[in-house]
Structure 1
Amino acid sequence: MLLDGQVAAVTGAGTGIGREISLRLAAEGADVVLTGRSTEAMEEVAGLVRAAGRRALPLAMDLRDPDSIAAAAKAAEAEFGRVDVLVNNSGVGGPSAPLVDMPLDEWEDTFRVNVTGTMLACKAFLPGMLARRSGSVVVIGSVTGKRPLVNRTPYAASKTALIGLVRTLAWEVGSSGVRVNLVSPGGVEGARIDWVLEQQAVSRGITVEQARAEFAGGAALQRLTSPQDVADAVAFLASPRAAAITGEDLNVSAGLVMY
């Protein structure tokens, strides 16, 4: 197992990609700290983690609230003694509108969660890794940080910002043996991509089926990305098998983006 005996913390662990990442890390031998705004969805995931023979700790944590992030990091250390892996998965899709019609509060909230929330989680969980001189941080970005997505400027800009955050942070903590990497998924099957495709269909005057076919058709493998695809990449980057990999941006997009 790639992560035998390690402890991983996952933000947004109750649903979607976060759920699959949590289960995959547990399958690879990690105990898992499950964080999110509500513990209700995480209880089911916690049960599955425990059924796999690993320990689970669901914690309420709001990326808009620095105090709740600090409290979650403290609780994780108290329960497990350490956190070896931090997966910054949680994020919001932001509004769908032309930039000239963009409400300022919705723009700022997108950055508050996707960028500042990631920074705050790193700030809370990194000190223990630095003290132990080992650890891995994996941030979930998006190929939208590297290619246009009409009417989604806050989301695109926030995901581009994560590239700079990861590359710079990798330099800051590298001498302490801590690695920081980014995973950029393409369109991931699930409720969020369904919403995106619906918005794109409306803005372009086409059907949702046409929007989905065009999106998938732009990928070399002619398909969307599954949550399991993303979880596999995260497990690898978090593990000792990626010991010489840091500051990287790994596309998991079925070939939608290759840069």
Structure 2
Amino acid sequence: MTLFDRFRLDGKRLFITGGSRGLGREMALAIAEAGADVIFTGRDEASLQKTANELEALGRQAFPIQADFSTPDTCEEVCERVLGDYGPVDILINNIGGRRISVPIETQSLAEWQQILDLNVTSTFLCTRIIGGAMLDRETGGRVINIASISGLVTTPDIGGRSYETSKGAIIQFTKAVATDWATRRVTVNAICPGTFMTEPNLRWAREKPELIEKMKSQIPMQQFGEPSDLGPLAVYLASDAARYMTGATMVLDGGATLV
């Protein structure tokens, strides 16, 4: 086996939440290019079909599922269906998430708070319990990759919706805890903390608060935001045999933003 063979994912199957757009789409495409078939969720039917076409153009099987994972019942039902209809799953990427609201903590309602925690943390827990849990009894084990954020490590001034920072910090600690529990059972659990990438939500923030976006950019040592495609190679590494001895890690990809 050559060095680059260890990064191949031929014959593997990925399940990624929120895989039809943005960072999720780029990770799905990268892992498909490395050889895996892809099951992925999204809310928008047009985006799902577009990404499915791109995956199939790489010679992979694509299984799009239209679902909103902000609802725990939906998340649980879809995960059970994935195992029944498309399993076994070798790689799980818990990618779905977002800030979605920008309100001060002193005016944020309990319903708003719970909605963001369900979207970011509860979905990660349920997918890990169901999809990741099914990997434990398999001789080949599996890979779980949780998409957190540098917002789980540092905070940005002048922005609301602190349920986002709270949930991303929880994902980092959840990753470490599950990695500890599953370390002897051939299932690795790692987290990626992206910095600012100009995906659709951040493009919206740029339109609504351009001064904040420019301030954020000026504070990054590399003086630029990340390209969504930058995340693909890291996801392939964590999904592959090349990362077999890595578990419980929090990997930061942010142009140096957390250095200052």
Question: Considering the TM-score relative to the shorter chain, is it more than 0.5?
Answer: yes
SS of the aligned residue for 2:197 comes to: coil
SS of the aligned residue for 1:87 comes to: strand
Moved runs in structure 1, 4+ residues, more than 6 A? none
- 1:176-195 matched pairs, under 5 angstroms: 176-195=185-204
Residues 48 and 66 of structure 2 are in contact (CA less than 8 Å); yes or no, is this contact kept in structure 1?
no
- Cα offset, 1:29, TM superposition: 0.5
- Please name the residue that 1:234 is paired with: 235
- Please name the residue that 1:143 is paired with: 150
Structure 2: runs of 5 or more not aligned: 1-6
Aligned counterpart for 1:157 among listed residues 152, 160, 166: 166
CA–CA separation in structure 2 for the residues paired with 1:166 and 1:39: 31
For residues 151-184 of structure 1, give each alpha carbon's deviation from its aligned partner in whole angstroms, at most 9, with x where no partner exists: 2311111111111110001111111110011100
For residues 137-160 of structure 1, give each alpha carbon's deviation from its aligned partner in whole angstroms, at most 9, with x where no partner exists: 111111111111232311111111
CA–CA separation in structure 1 for the residues paired with 2:119 and 2:194: 18
Structure 1: runs of 5 or more not aligned: 202-207
- Cα offset, 1:258, TM superposition: 4.2
**RMSD between aligned alpha carbons?**
1.9
Alignment length (residue pairs): 251
The alignment-based identity, stated in percent, is 29
Q: In the superposition, relative to structure 1, how do residues 146 and 196 fare at CA in structure 2: closer, same or farther (>3 Å)?
A: farther
Q: In the superposition, relative to structure 1, how do residues 37 and 130 fare at CA in structure 2: closer, same or farther (>3 Å)?
A: same
- Cα offset, 1:123, TM superposition: 1.3
SS of the aligned residue for 2:168 comes to: helix
Q: TM-score, normalised by structure 1?
A: 0.90
Q: Which amino acid aligns with 1:149?
A: T
1:221 and 2:222 matched: yes
1:83 and 2:89 matched: yes
- Please name the residue that 1:18 is paired with: 24
Q: Which amino acid aligns with 1:157?
A: T
CA–CA separation in structure 2 for the residues paired with 1:243 and 1:25: 16
Say which is worse superposed, 99-108 or 70-79, in terms of deviation.
Answer: 70-79
Q: In the superposition, relative to structure 1, how do residues 177 and 258 fare at CA in structure 2: closer, same or farther (>3 Å)?
A: farther
CA–CA separation in structure 1 for the residues paired with 2:86 and 2:94: 19
CA–CA separation in structure 1 for the residues paired with 2:26 and 2:88: 22
Q: TM-score, normalised by structure 2?
A: 0.89
SS of the aligned residue for 1:57 comes to: strand
1:172 and 2:173 matched: no
CA–CA separation in structure 1 for the residues paired with 2:259 and 2:137: 36
